[in-house]
Structure 1
Amino acid sequence: MPNIGGSFKALAFALSLGVAACGGGTTDTSESLRRGISANPDSVDPHKVSSQWENIVIGDMFTGLFTDGADATPVLGMAKSYEISDDALTWTFKLKDAKWSDGVPVTAQDFEFAFRRILTPETASQYASMLFLIKNSQEFYEGEVGADELGVKAIDDKTFEIQLNYPAPYLPGILKHYTSFPVPKHAIEEFGDDWTDPENIVVNGPYKLVQFRTGDFLRSVANPEFAGAEDLCFKEVIYYPYDDLDAIERYIQTGRLDINNAFDGQKTEELKEKFPGWVRTAPTLQLTYYSFNTDLEMFQDLRVRNALAMALDRDFMVNEVLTAGYQPAYSFVPPGTANYNGGAQVYWADWSLERRQEEARTLLKEAGYGPDNPLEFEYSYRSTDDNPRVAPAVQSSWMEIADWVKPEILQKETQVQYALLRQGDFQIGDGAWVADFNDPKNFLYLLESATGVMNYGNYNSPEYDALMAQSDRERDLDARAELLRQAEQTMLDDMAVIPMWFAVSKNLVDPSLTGFIDNADDVHRSRYICRDE
């Protein structure tokens, strides 16, 4: 993660150092790297995705101005250098000589086109709001200004400029994210929405998609136009959308997988014994939380939201059901997040479970619920990871409030669950967030009213929005952290969502592989991975 506590110039020097293309070991052109991902990608268009498993695939195919180092820290990608203005509002990038996979040069105009495209409502990007730090971006998105007033500009073929609304020392983290990837204007103009079909797709990253069999696999091969392609240890990467964790064990036993991005946390010790050296866990900036659909009258009542949030036995779930290293969450921003000291938490964080459930019962009675008016609602959860085992414990905690609290639990395929959350088609919905960049802004922006579909419960607080806007303008990092703490406390006091737990990353990795470095982002690009024969 970028060290944004220092000066902008020091940051620029550190990021200019870059990394080597391969993580060690021998180059073996006869092998494929076989990666299990949690679900089937909805798309491979960088502007139309939003999930971690899609990031695994797309991050192998495209490269932004910055890219992920082997440990996921931002290093220069398509940019060979950059300068930051004295007021930190203008970043000017000089581009490397690079080509798309069809041999067409990558230019500053491609980046200009890409930023305009993702910020056009017709693109329907779920992540567009993450770029609202760019000058006039929200105004452009809302149709108030034209493209020429958007703060991105191709000065010439090799010079690209970004103007910001406020200083953002974490910008390199955003510019390595798929939201900021360039897309090939010439291919999109020729093929329209079909530009991502394997026969049409054009990429600028180390691997190019050649097959996409929905629900079965995706296959990418080394892109010969990518600088350093000759150093890739694997000339082919195959991605399998596996969500059956028991089946994954069989695939490993039969030699069908090299890496999987999840495993059954309750079986950690069993897996360590069964597959020596495969189990990898590490601290990560990840939060599981539940969203209320506040369009529903029952969840417009703060007493109901607080009651359901405080009654959950997080300690049991973390200690008895989930993976070792998980922590109960009584705040929203994960501990260890850069530029933040924390301090915000729900008012009942230190209460005993017995006291919390008693208070929950009282709050629900005050809200008008009881034997003659039971509280009935649905809780939907993702089918992957440990969620199916946690769901009965969640249901049990709520039912222990009183026999007139009647939750129904519904399992959904993970990609379906997120689609329902974005559509507002849920009552209480389980979801998780993994940091895109190491700063509290990346978590707290989810609850801003301008965020759009990623603000699943449509939380809307003028006080919260004002604090977030004030933090954007604050250049002193300590003062900024305090404003963000106040914002976090505001959303917790409103019980905008239910924080559940902070996670560790869980990967299964063939111990013969090198270059897979555990990191807080849980990002591991295939270009760095080799097999140590």
Structure 2
Amino acid sequence: MTIQTRRLLGTALLLGSLLTGASQALAEAVLHRGNAGEPQTLDYAHISIDIEGFVVRDMFEGLTIFNAKGEVVPGSAESWTISDDNLTYTFKIRDNANWSDGTPVTAEDFVFSMRRLEDPKTAAEYAGILYPVKNAEKVNKGELPVDQLGIKAVDAKTVEITLERPTPFFLQLLAHYTALPISKANFEKFGDQFVKPGNMVSNGAFKLEAHVPNDTLTVVKNDKYWDAANVKLDKVIFYPIDDDAASVRRFEAKEMDLVYNFSADQIKRLRETYNDQVHVTPSLATYYYVFDNREPPYNDVNVRRALSMAVDRDFLAQEIYAGAQLPAYNLVPPGMPGYGDGPVPDFASMSQIDREDKAVELMKAAGYGEGGKPLNIEIRYNTNANHERVATAVADMWKNTFGAKVSLVNLDVASHYAYLQEGGKFNVARAAWSADYGDPENFLALNVSTNTTFNYGKYKSEEYDSLMKQSYEEQDPAKRMEILKKAEEVLNTDQPIAPFMNSANLWLVSSRVSGWEDNAVNEHLSKFLSVSE
């Protein structure tokens, strides 16, 4: 072979290699996912909102997970058994469940993670969701050591969890991010810094590659994941954009494949252009305003009831959300299994005009409004075009009904909820709750006085607390639901919060995305999705 021939052959091989590399790069399956805000953290022990859950659950997998339809199915556990008294759950972890560094996922990882969550030193905001686990509440309050928590490793791949009481929705709880595992060995190595790129190891379908706060968060396929062969995406890039208009523009420019929580006033226009790429899905969720019950005048039930009554829910649902939301008067959304139609406050059956007249009477009885003390109200909300329009409309309603002077304050979603969870004082604040599991307790527990994280307004009622306590002790399902309804009746009377609407999930889903399923729990793991050019 001549030197010239070798050179030609070498050039051909090099060109072929470059073409192959270019082809592989072009073939990379990347999902561009709009996420409506920057996560406060990637530590599952300190997250509490959906945009954080979307990211974390792509990287970490619990014993159970929600499938594309929103149904609970096996995750890291391939199977489980439940004792006859429904108090002991024994899970078999998959033999091929591994961390992204190749080490096996063990029962001890789950024991360590749940103990860490309930350890008062961790100060996990969502620790209460796992209180059905034996001794969890006492451990979390520092009354028992963490090794008394009702979870143990039977062997390397078998974990046993014992409950305080039968909990029909426990398998759903285990799909929640509070029940996610972290690698014990990795945490012992890095401590709280385990969440950083380069430190983090995960057991889910994806692993963290890069995180540029307020810009992008990138996860890549985890080839050590037990079901990696069925994961069709190579990479998911999350964009934490809370500007609705900017998100829609990027979707229309085909820069993003998914957009979460776009502006509702765009529904008609978007449907005309994008048809079935526009998804408006009823959800088990409630949009509400909470009053700071610690401070006057909001510690006066007459003031709270008056403000709540003066809000025209039909206007908010129809005019601002274009019918994508439904008017609501009570906290527990319709469709909750076993609950039926929950109680509503006495003013729900009145016309809006009659409500406003009654509201004026209540406000005068409290000494505020025309002829009384001035009413100055600050409404706090997280940055979002829909929330801004709701706040502006509510401000006008309160101004027109009571002569109130209303100002608006907004923060990004992570800062807004962090302020409320940390006990910051306010007048009125926007909030919402989506079901973590299909039981009314998930909503009603928000207002228990001992719920220091999510009882934003610091409402305290001995009657309410007593009824909730009874509900935890009642084993008859029908009787338990009746107790919960009585508790909601107390809320309806006291109005520590003002429910406005039952929410819908608003998504834009590109036609290049396959595997998407609308579901009421609003869970959409990227592992079930694929993209095409």
TM-score range, shorter chain: over 0.9
Q: Deviation of residue 103 (structure 1)?
A: 1.1
The aligned residue for residue 71 of structure 1 is 69
Letter in structure 2 aligned against 1:223:
N
**Residue of structure 2 in register with 1:432 after alignment:** 432
Tell me if 1:454 matches 2:454.
yes
What is aligned with 2:413? 414
How do 1:200-215 and structure 2 match up within 5 A? 200-215=199-214
| Deviation of the 1:66 alpha carbon | 0.3
Q: How many matched pairs?
A: 505
Bigger shift: 471-480 or 426-435? 471-480
Give, in whole Å, the separation in 2 of the partners of 1:262 and 1:275: 16
Deviation at 1:74, TM superposition (A): 0.7
TM-score between the two structures when normalised by the length of structure 1: 0.92
In structure 1, the residue matched to 2:313 is: 314
Give me the whole-angstrom Cα distance separating, in 2, the residues matched to 1:253 and 1:81: 43
> Is 2:445 the counterpart of 1:445?
yes
Provide the rounded CA distance (Å) in 1 between the counterparts of 2:251 and 2:214.
19
Alpha-carbon deviation of 1:456?
A: 0.6
Amino acid at match of 1:379: I
1:92-132 CA-partner distances (Å, limit 9, x unpaired):
11111111111111111111101110111221211001111
**Secondary structure in structure 2 of the residue aligned to 1:400:** helix
Shift in Å, 1:385 = 5.1
SS in 1 for 2:105: coil
| Aligned residue identity for 1:296 | E
**Corresponding residue of 1:498:** 498
Instruction: Quote the Cα distance in structure 2 between the aligned partners of 1:186 and 1:503.
Output: 41
Between the aligned residues of both structures, percent identity stands at 38
Structure 2 match to 1:88: 86
**How big is the shift at 1:134?**
1.1
1:123 equivalenced with 2:122 (yes/no): yes
Inter-partner Cα distance in structure 1 for 2:87 and 2:79: 17
State the AA in 1 paired with 2:43.
D
Distance in 1 between residues matched to 2:188 and 2:505, nearest whole Å? 39
| Greater than 4 Å deviation, 4+ residue runs | none
Q: CA deviation at 1:271?
A: 0.8
- What letter corresponds to residue 60 of structure 1 in structure 2? D
Residue aligning to 1:155:
154
Specify every segment of 5 or more residues in structure 1 that has no aligned partner in the other structure, as ranges. Answer: 1-27
Q: Which amino acid aligns with 2:133?
A: I
SS in 2 for 1:72: coil
Find the aligned partners of 1:372 and 1:330 in 2 and give their Cα distance. 28
Q: Deviations over 1:219-253 (max 9, x none)?
A: 00000110121221111000000111111122122
Aligned-partner SS, 2:349: coil
1:399-433 deviation per Cα after TM superposition (whole angstroms, max 9, x unaligned) = 12232x22222222222211221123221100111
Aligned to 2:273: 274
Q: Tell me if the contact between 1:357 and 1:400 (Cα under 8 Å) persists in the aligned partners.
A: no
**Which amino acid is 1:144 matched to?**
E
Residue 57 of structure 1: how far off its partner (Å):
0.5
Residue of structure 2 equivalent to 1:49: 47
1:241 — aligned with what?
Answer: 240
Q: Deviations over 1:457-477 (max 9, x none)?
A: 112222212222222232322
- The answer (yes or no) to whether the contact 1:220–1:238 under 8 Å persists in 2 is yes
Residue number in structure 2 paired with 1:489: 489
On the 8 A contact 1:38/1:243 being kept in 2, the answer is yes
**Kept after mapping to 2: 8 A contact 1:234/1:530:** yes
How high is the TM-score relative to the length of structure 2? 0.92
User: Where do residues 278-289 of structure 1 align in structure 2 (5 Å cutoff)?
Assistant: 278-289=277-288
**In structure 2, how many angstroms separate the alpha carbons of the residues matched to 1:504 and 1:515?**
20
The corresponding residue for 1:11 is none
Give SS of 2:218's match: strand
Task: Verify the 8 A CA contact 2:345 2:493 in the aligned structure 1.
Answer: yes
Contact kept? 1:333, 1:342, Cα under 8 Å: no
* Partners of 1:293 and 1:424 within 8 A in 2: no
Q: Mark the CA change 1:29 to 1:337 in structure 2 (over 3 Å): closer, same or farther.
A: farther
Distance 1:143 1:109 in 2: 22
- Indicate the SS of the match to 1:445: helix
* Larger Rg computed on CA atoms: 2
The CA distance in 2 between the partners of 1:246 and 1:424, in whole Å, is 32
TM-superposed CA distance for 1:512, in Å, is 2.6
More displaced 10-residue stretch of structure 1: 80-89 or 298-307: 80-89
Match of 2:16 in 1: none
C-alpha deviation, 1:29, in angstroms: 4.8
Q: Specify every segment of 5 or more residues in structure 2 that has no aligned partner in the other structure, as ranges.
A: 1-25
CA deviations on 1:427-486 (whole Å, 9 max, x unpaired) are 110011111111111111111122221111112222212222222232322212111111
Aligned residue for 1:17?
none
Post-superposition Cα deviations, 1:473-511, rounded to whole Å, max 9, x if no partner, equal 323222121111111111111112110100111100012
SS at match of 2:233: coil
